Amino acid sequence: MRTPSTHFRLVLRILFTIAASFAILISPVRGQENGGSAQTNQKWNYDELKKAPEKARLRQNPLENNPNAIAAGGKLFERDCSECHGQKAEGGKHAPSLLRDEVQQATPGTLFWVLTNGVVWHGMPVWSKLPEPERWQIVRFLKSLKASARPGAPGGS
Partner 1 sequence: MIFSRAALLLFFGFLFSLFFCPSSSAQESPYIVTYDHYLEEPGSLEVEYFSTFGTQRAGNDFHAFWVEFEYGATAWWTTELYLDGQTTFGDSTVFTGFRWENRFRVLRHEHFINPVIYVEYEHKNGADKILKEVEGVDGESDFLTPNAEARAEHINEIEGKLILSKTFKGWNIAENTLAAKNLSNNPWEFGYAIGVSRPFALQASPNKCNLCPENFSAGVEMYGGLGDRYHLGLRNTSHYIAPVTAWSLPSGWTLRLSPSFGLNDNSHRFLLRWGLSREFSGFPEMLGHLFGGRR
| Contact residues: partner 1, CB under 8 A | 5, 8-9, 12, 16, 19-20, 22-28, 30-31, 63, 68, 71-73, 75-76, 79-80, 83-84, 93-94, 116-126, 128-134, 137
Smallest gap from Cβ 93 to partner 1, in A, equals: 8
Sequential DSSP letters for 114-137: HHHHTBGGGTBPP-TTS-HHHHHH
- The burial class, CB within 10 Å (0-12 / 13-18 / 19+), for 103 is buried
Which one, 116 or 157, has the nearer CB to partner 1? 116
Smallest gap from Cβ 23 to partner 1, in A, equals: 4
Q: How far is CA 68 from the centre of its chain?
A: 23
Is residue 157 within 8 A of residue 83, CB to CB? The reply is no
Smallest gap from Cβ 101 to partner 1, in A, equals: 25
